[in-house]
Structure 1
Amino acid sequence: MATTEVQRVVFDSGAAASMVEELRGSYRSGKTTSYEWRVSQLQKLEKITEFHEQEIVEALRSDLSKPEFESFVQEIGMLKSACKLAIKQLKSWMKPEKVATSMTTFPSSAEIVSEPLGVVLIISAWNYPFLLSLDPVVGAIAAGNAVVLKPSELAPATSSLLSKLLGEYMDSSSVRVVEGGVAETSALLEQKWDKICYTGNSRVGRIVMASAVKHLTPVLLELGGKSPVVVDSGINLQVACRRIIVGKWGCNNGQACVSPDYILTTKEFASKLVDALKSELDKFYGKNPLQSKDLSRVVNFNHYARLTKMLDEVSDKVIHGGERDVNNLRIAPTILLDVPQDSLIMNEEIFGPLLPIVTVEKIEDSFDLINSGTKPLAAYLFTNNQKLKDHFVKNISAGGLVINDTTIHLAVPTLPFGGVGESGMGAYHGKFSFEAFSHKKAVVYRGYALDASVRYPPYTNGKLNLLKALVGGSLLGIIRALFRSSKA
C-alpha cells in the first residue's frame, strides 16, 4: 500500500508578494477601516482567550515549560485586558481631534484624523509567544489595518496554535499568519509594508530595519538591553527582594526583555541584600530549584549553551545557585557578586536566570555606571530617599522606569511601552498601540467668505507689512498694516 507524503507548501518571495497584494486589495476595499469590522475582529481575539485558555497554556508549557500561573497572568490575562480596553475605547480613539487654527488661516477650522497605515507586518518573539504576537495585532486591527503575523519558530507549539486559531476566528481576507523560520521571514521582509513591528534582539532588529529602509517603511522595534536595578539601603528589604525575584525569575525565568539584568548596590549593603535574596529564593523555589514547577526552562540548547558560557567565565563569582540540568535545559536561579566589568555577562543582555550584583562606593555612583552603557529598556530603583528618586527619574534614560518594584509598568495601559536608543524605537500598549499603527492626518476646513486679497499677487509693501503683523501676532500692528494697505 503506497504512502502519501505531506509536502510542505513553499513560502518564498513570490508567495509573500501574492499574499501582500491580496491583503492590499482587501484594505483598498475599505472593509478594515469601518468601526464595525475593527470591533468584530477585536471581539474574536478576546474569544480566543476565553474559549482556548487551556490550549494556550499547554502550548506555552510545551515551548517553555511555562507555569500556568505565569501563562495566564503574563500572557492570556494581559491580552484579554488589551482587547477589552480597545473595544471599550475604540470610538473615542477613532474620533477626529479638534484643534485650534491661527489668524493666518481665519476663518477656518481644523482637526487631526487618525487613519490606518495600510498593510502591516508583525514579527513576534519566542519568550512571550502568545502575548507578544497578539498584543501588537490588537493595536493594528484597532487602527484599521490589514495584518500579517509571523510568530517565532523557536516557540513552535504556540506558533502552530496561533495559525490554527487565527485561521478559524479572524477575517482571513485581512488577517494572516505565516509560520516558518529565517527563509519565510526573509521572504516577508523583501516586501513593501506600511509598517513593520519587530520584537526581539538588536541583531535581528538591525536586519529588519535595513530591509525596511529599502521601501522607506517605518518600524516599531521592541528590543531589550541590560535593565539595571539600583538598591539603596534603608528600605523594606524583604519586599524589595521579593519584587526583584518575581521580576527576574518569575518572568519566564529571566527570559524577558524587561527582567532585571544586574543589580547595583553599595559594598556596605551588598551582604544584607545577598542574604535576603537567598532566603526569599529558597522560600519561592525550594532547596532544589531545578525541580521547581514554578520556573520555566531555557527555550533551547543554543540559548542554554550561551548562558552556560557566560556562567563558566565567571563561575568563581557565583554565591548562590549555578546548578544545571542540560537534559531538561534548566539552570537554577543564580546570583553572582562583583563580576568584572569586561566579562561577557556584563556586556551582553543575559536573558536568563543569572543575576550579577555589582557594588559601588556610593549609591549615586550607580547612575554614572548605568549611563556609561547603552540605554536600557527598563531601569528600576529601590529607595525611600526622595532626592534619589528625583535624580533617577531626571538623569536615567530608559524605555521605562519603576520605583520600588520591577516590570509592573507593562500592566499600566495608560503608559507607553517601548525602548530608546539601542533598546528600541516606538511604543505601544493601550491607546499608544492604536497610535503606533495610525497616521495622524492634518485636515483644514474653509469656506469662501472673507477671501483676503493679501495672499495674492501683485505683492505690495502693504501686503507684506500686513503678513508680518499677522505672523507677529500684534493686534495694533495688524490694524496699522490694514490702515496703510487701504490707503495704498
Structure 2
Amino acid sequence: MNDTSKIIIENILTKQREFFAGNQTRDISFRIEQLKKFKSAIKIFEKSIADALWTDLHKSFEEAYITEISIVNQDIDYHIRHLKKWSKPKRVPTPLHLLPSSSKIIYEPLGVSLIVAPWNYPFQLLMNALVGSISAGNCAILKPSPYSENTAKVMEELIKGTFASEYIDIVQGGRKTNELLFKQKFDIIFYTGSPAVGKVVMNAAAEHLTPVVLELGGKSPCIVDKDANLSVAARRIVWGKTINAGQTCIAPDYLLVHASVKEALIEEIKLTIREMFGDDMQKSKHFGRIVNDKAFDRLSGYLTNGKIVAGGITDKSKRYISLTLLDEVKPEDAVMQEEIFGPILPIMTFTEIDEAIAYINSNEKPLAFYYFGKSKMAKEVLMKTTSGGGCINDTVVHVGNHHLPFGGVGNSGMGKYHGKDSFLAFSNRRSIVSTPTWMDLPLKYVPYKFFKLIRKII
C-alpha cells in the first residue's frame, strides 16, 4: 500500500482546521446527524467489511460481526441516546468564599484528531475511536494499518463516501506515513498498538504538547485457582484465546494454574478445543490465521519453549498455527518475555496464590487480568494487583460493555474510551466561574483588611 505524501497530509489538516474554526461541529444536532450517517454507512458496507476481514484475517462473519461491527454500532447508538445530556454544561458546587459566584464545566471539542489503529481489529479499533471524536465535536484524520489492506480499503471507501474530507478523512500507508503524521500538530492523538510505538507517538506528541490516548498491550495473566469450575474456565479461556487466532490485545497471554488442578484443566481445554473446532482446527471457519509471515515465524519460534501438550500444528503456506498449550514453561523462556499475540498459551503453576501475585507484579502492568475461582479470593487478588481491566470467571467480555472505561495502565497504555469515556477522551473539560456584578465583596482585594475573617472561611 502506497504512502500518503506530506503535501496531501498538510492540505487535509489545513482544510480541517478551517472547517473546525467555522464552529459547525460544536452544534449537537450536527454531531448526532453525523453519527446517524455513520451507522447507516456501516449497515450498507457490512458485507464488504466482513468479506475484507475474512480475506485479511480469516474471520468468520459471526466473529467479524460480534467482535468488530456490533461493538461500533452499539457505541454509536449509545452516543446518539446520551450525547445531549453529556454535552450540557455541568453545574458544580461553589465554595462559600467564592459566593455569590456559580461554577460549571463546559465540554468542548479539542479540535482535529489523529486516530491511528492496528491490523488485528482493523474496523473496530479505528471506527470506535472515531465515534468518540464525532460525539465530542472534532474533525479527524484516520490512519488504518497496511497489514489489513483489504479492510483498510473498504474503510476508505466508507469514510470518503460518508463524510466531507474537510471534516473526516482517511490516509493510507505504512511507517513513512505514520512518521509524517506524527510530525504534524494535532489537538489529540489516539493511538492503538504496541508499547514500543506508543513511546514513539508520545515522544512526537511532546513536541507540540499534544494530548495522547495510548491503547497498548502487554502480557495479560489468567489465574486458575484450585476451586475454579474447570469446565467453565476451559471454555472461556479457549474462547478468549482463539478469537482472531489469539491476535487480541486483551487475550489471556499465559496461564497461572494451581498445581493441584493443572492436569485436569489441560484435559478440559483439550476437550473444549475439539467441541468448538472439531478434530482439525484448520478446517474450522471460526479459527483465524496469522496476519503475515513475519508474525508466523516469530510465533513458531515459541513452540520450542516448554513442552507441547496440545496443538503445535503449523502450516506456513496458510499462516496457520493451531491453539497450542505449552506446559513446563519457565519465566526466563522467550515466550514469557513479550506479548505473544497468537494462539499459544504457556502454562505455569503455583501452590500459594501469593506466588502468582508476586510473579504478575514483578512484570509490567497488564492491559487485562483474569481470575477463575471463588469471589472471596478474587477480591483479594484484585486488591493486590493492577491492570487496565479484567474479568472474574471470564475472559475478554469486559471490552463489550460500553458502560465500562476501556484502556491500560502504565506500560499497557494511558487514557480510557468506550461509551461516555470516548466522549470525554476527545473533549476539553473547561472550568468556568461566573460572578455577578450586583455585589462586589471587598474580602479578596488588597490590602486585605478582612484577612482574619478570610482565614476563618478558608
Q: What TM-score do you get using the length of structure 1 for normalisation? A: 0.92
**Is contact 2:309-2:327 (8 Å) kept?**
yes
Partner of 1:436: 425
Aligned with residue 76 of structure 1, among 57, 62, 69: 69
Q: Distance in 1 between matches of 2:15 and 2:102?
A: 38
Partner of 2:442: 453
Q: SS at 1:43's partner residue?
A: helix
Aligned with residue 88 of structure 2, among 76, 95, 99: 95
Q: Distance in 2 between matches of 1:10 and 1:133?
A: 18
Q: After superposition, what is the alpha-carbon deviation per residue over 1:435-482, rounded to whole angstroms, capped at 9, x for unaligned?
A: 00001000111111221122222333xx211211110xxxxxxxxxxx
Q: Distance in 2 between matches of 1:21 and 1:126?
A: 28
**Is contact 1:53-1:76 (8 Å) kept?**
yes
Aligned with residue 138 of structure 2, among 118, 138, 145: 145
**CA, structure 1 residues 18+49, in 2 after alignment: closer, same or farther (shift >3 Å)?**
closer
Question: What is the CA RMSD across the aligned residues, in angstroms?
Answer: 1.3
Partner of 2:339: 349
| Range with greater deviation from structure 2 (19-28 or 358-367) | 358-367
Amino acid at match of 1:297: R
Deviation at residue 238 of structure 1 after TM alignment: 1.2
Q: SS at 1:417's partner residue?
A: coil
1:469 aligns with 2:450: no
Q: SS at 1:230's partner residue?
A: strand
Aligned with residue 271 of structure 2, among 267, 273, 279: 279
Q: Give 5+ residue unaligned stretches, structure 1.
A: 1-7, 472-488
Q: Distance in 2 between matches of 1:388 and 1:38?
A: 45
**Is contact 1:241-1:276 (8 Å) kept?**
yes
Deviation at residue 12 of structure 1 after TM alignment: 2.7
1:414 aligns with 2:403: yes
**Is contact 1:12-1:183 (8 Å) kept?**
no
Q: Distance in 1 between matches of 2:250 and 2:448?
A: 60
Partner of 1:195: 188
Deviation at residue 375 of structure 1 after TM alignment: 0.5
Deviation at residue 171 of structure 1 after TM alignment: 2.8
Partner of 1:268: 260
Q: Distance in 2 between matches of 1:11 and 1:158?
A: 17
Amino acid at match of 2:342: G
Q: Distance in 1 between matches of 2:16 and 2:159?
A: 15
**Is contact 1:116-1:143 (8 Å) kept?**
yes
Q: After superposition, what is the alpha-carbon deviation per residue over 1:182-235, rounded to whole angstroms, capped at 9, x for unaligned?
A: 111111111001110000111111111111011101110000100011001233
**Is contact 1:13-1:190 (8 Å) kept?**
no
**Is contact 1:290-1:325 (8 Å) kept?**
no
**Aligned residues between the structures:** 458
Deviation at residue 403 of structure 1 after TM alignment: 0.4
Q: After superposition, what is the alpha-carbon deviation per residue over 1:116-140, rounded to whole angstroms, capped at 9, x for unaligned?
A: 0000100001000000010000001
Q: Distance in 1 between matches of 2:29 and 2:136?
A: 12
**CA, structure 1 residues 91+215, in 2 after alignment: closer, same or farther (shift >3 Å)?**
same
Amino acid at match of 1:373: N
Q: Give 5+ residue unaligned stretches, structure 2.
A: none
Q: Percent of aligned positions with the same letter in both sequences?
A: 38
Q: After superposition, what is the alpha-carbon deviation per residue over 1:27-56, rounded to whole angstroms, capped at 9, x for unaligned?
A: 000011111221111111111222221111
Q: After superposition, what is the alpha-carbon deviation per residue over 1:138-162, rounded to whole angstroms, capped at 9, x for unaligned?
A: 0011000000000111100011111
Deviation at residue 104 of structure 1 after TM alignment: 1.5
Partner of 1:237: 230
Amino acid at match of 2:244: N
Q: Distance in 2 between matches of 1:243 and 1:407?
A: 9
**Is contact 2:3-2:176 (8 Å) kept?**
no
Q: Distance in 2 between matches of 1:81 and 1:340?
A: 42
Partner of 1:45: 38
1:391 aligns with 2:377: no
Amino acid at match of 2:274: D
Q: Distance in 2 between matches of 1:338 and 1:101?
A: 61
**Is contact 2:12-2:165 (8 Å) kept?**
no
Which protein is bigger by CA-based radius of gyration? 1
Q: After superposition, what is the alpha-carbon deviation per residue over 1:422-441, rounded to whole angstroms, capped at 9, x for unaligned?
A: 00000100000000000100
Aligned with residue 310 of structure 1, among 302, 306, 313: 302
